[in-house]
Amino acid sequence: MTAKASAAANLRPATQLLHAGAPALRDGTGPVNVPVVRTSTVRFENTATHAEYHHRRTAGERVAAYGRHGLDTHRALEDAVAGLEGGHRAFLTPSGLSAITLVLLALLSPGDHALVADGVYAPVRRVDSTLLKRLGVEIEYFSPTHDDLASRIRPNTRLLYLESPSSLLYEVLDLPALAAVARDRGLTVATDNTWSGGWFYQPLALGANISIQAATKYISGHSDLMQGVVVVDSPALAEKISAAYEALGLTIGADDAYLALRGLRTLPVRLAQHQRNATAVAEFLQQQPHVSRVFYPALPTDPGHALWKRDFSGASGLVSFEFRHATPAAANAFVDALTLFGIGASWGGYESLALVAQPERLREHRQWTGDAAVVRLHIGLEDPHDLTADLAQAFSSAM
Ligand SMILES: *Cc1c(COP(=O)(O)O)cnc(C)c1O
């Protein structure tokens, strides 16, 4: 390690993130950013070098013998994300959902059973119903806050799959307690960490073995990219994930790796502002007569607030709220009346979004006890006064 590199290891996370993956100078000079290395073919000086690279790769070394393995841009992003999550190794996938599917396929075999939190990102259930069932893998949904985990673990249970806070209602889970039970019984613990961007939450330090993110969201930060990452805590898990990753032929383009790395540089400042704006909006919503409940863990009234305060260092831009009486038609009218919020799925970009969450979907989630419509907002980086003014005019014109 050079003197400069060992000094860098002592720096605070935001500083490390700014410089992670920066290219070394050559002949005393060089660019700030890692170049975009696009290639399909990797060339070798001679057949002996070609053979040597294949051997090193087979032995588990992270070197590229073919374009699919990714070169400098991929390496820089992998290292930056592994550092952010405090993990051993990162894998880059074409979307957040493919990162989740990769983990499930890598760790589950016919006859295996897995316990999955009932508040997970909804398309996980589609992976289960279309792919895992056909492969003879049994997925059981449970409520991590209402049910006893230990009594649900069977001899063939291999995996505990969580998401905290949960999708749509942001139910905060007691990860250290759940992970302790699961690991004691030999289960691998994987969790979706998209909500925090890897910045406000460190699941590997709290007992998870695998952290998954849709880099599509906060890592990218600019709504211009689809990408997923899987970060593992050990060489043994890296080997398992790597085997499935290679078999599935997963890879991402170098341009997308570059964009994600560019997004990572500003992750801490963007998230700090998302939190400030979302807190202002959540507090505004709490005052509204048409709103019966606001879902945002940073609010002291949120049921997950104490756990959030213990385990998280901040909150994202996602805020959901339940109408006091509104039917789905009235909720749709409210969303249609907004002028500053885009209507659409996904989130994590700089811009604000609104979406009506169907109560039928929420019923799968034991956190859900209501029957009125719920709207999910992603609070972007606009001036929060403009956002609350837009929400106020939508309440008065649509309600
Ligand atoms: C969006 C999302 C995903 C899936 O990411 P894509 O890149 O859209 O496939 C996974 N988990 C959570 C929590 C998400 O919000």
Best residue among 173, 217, 219 to mutate for probing ligand 1's pocket (most ligand atoms within 8 Å of CB) is: 217
- Mean pLDDT across 53-81: 93
pLDDT of residue 267: 98
Q: What is the percentage of the chain residues whose pLDDT exceeds 90?
A: 89
The answer to whether residue 1 scores a pLDDT higher than 50 is: no
Percent of the chain with pLDDT over 70: 97
Q: What are the respective helix, strand and coil percentages of the chain, to the nearest 5?
A: 40, 15, 45
Q: Rounded distance, CA 309 to CA 300, Å? A: 10
* pLDDT exceeds cutoff 80 at 7: no
What average pLDDT does this structure show over 189-198? 98
Q: Among candidates 233, 221, 238, 222, which has minimal Cα distance to 191?
A: 233
d(CA 215, CA 291): 32
Is the beta carbon of 191 within 6 A of some atom in ligand 1? no
pLDDT, tens only, 354-374? 999 876 777 788 887 777 899
100 has a pLDDT exceeding 90 = yes
Which is more confidently placed, 6 or 253? 253
CB of 101 shorter than 6 A to ligand 1: no
From 101, 121, 166, mutation site for ligand 1 pocket: most ligand atoms within 8 A of C-beta? 121
CA separation for the pair 356, 369 (Å, rounded): 17
- β-sheet bridge partners, residue 293: 322
- Distance between CA 36 and CA 22 in Å, rounded? 12
Contacts of 301 (CB under 8 A, 6+ apart): 286, 294
Mean pLDDT for the stretch of residues 209-233: 98
Residue minimizing CA distance to atom 2 of ligand 1: 214
pLDDT at 171 > cutoff 50: yes
At the top level of CATH, the class of 76-262 is alpha beta
Report the mean per-residue pLDDT for the chain.
95
| Selection from 98, 305, 269, 294 nearest residue 197 by Cα | 269
Distance 211 CA to ligand 1 centre (A): 13
Query: Residue 121 C-alpha to ligand 1 middle, in angstroms?
Result: 7
In this predicted structure, the answer to whether residue 4 has a pLDDT above a threshold of 70 is: no
Residues 285-308 pLDDT 10s: 999 999 999 999 999 999 999 999
Hey, whose CA ends up nearest to atom 6 of ligand 1? 96
- The confidence score (pLDDT) of residue 156 equals 98
Q: How far is the CA of 226 from the centre of ligand 1 (A)?
A: 9
Contacts of 226 (CB under 8 A, 6+ apart): 94, 95, 96, 216, 256
With a 6 Å cutoff on the Cβ, whether 167 touches ligand 1 is yes
Listed residue (127, 91, 80, 84) closest to 230, CA to CA: 91
Residue 104 above 90 pLDDT? yes
Q: Which strand ranges, in their side-by-side order, compose the sheet holding 374-378? A: 291-295, 318-323, 374-378, 353-357, 342-343
pLDDT at 362: 78
> What CATH class is the domain 267-398?
alpha beta
Catalytic center residues: 68, 121, 192, 217
Encode burial over 149-159: b for 16+ CB neighbours within 10 A, e otherwise: beeebeeebbb
Q: If you measure from the C-alpha of residue 214 to the centroid of ligand 1, how many angstroms do you get, rounded to a whole number? A: 5
10 Å CB burial of residue 100 (0-12, 13-18, 19+) is buried
pLDDT of residue 365: 81
Q: Kindly list the domain boundaries of the chain, sorted by start residue.
A: 76-262, 267-398
| 67-76, 291-300, 319-328, 362-371: range with lowest mean pLDDT | 362-371
122 Cα to the center of ligand 1, angstroms: 9
Give the tens place of pLDDT for each residue, 373-395: 999 999 999 999 999 999 999 99
- How far is the centre of ligand 1, averaged over its atoms, from the C-alpha of 311 (Å)? 22
- Under 8 Å CB-to-CB from 366, ≥6 apart: which residues? 118, 119, 143, 145, 146, 147
Chain position carrying tokens 């419509």: 373
Query: Phi/psi of residue 364, each to 5°?
Result: -70, -15
Answer whether 266's CB lies under 8 Å from 221's CB: yes
Determine the pLDDT at residue 63: 92
Q: State if residue 121 touches ligand 1 by the CB under 6 angstroms criterion.
A: yes
**Quick check: CB of 214 below 6 Å from ligand 1?**
yes
pLDDT (tens digit, 9 = 90+) per residue, 271-288?
Answer: 999 999 999 999 999 999
Which of 2-6, 60-64, 169-173, 327-331 shows the lowest mean pLDDT across its residues? Answer: 2-6
- Count Cβ atoms below 10 Å from residue 60 Cβ, excluding itself: 11
Say if ligand 1 is within 6 A of residue 393 CB: no
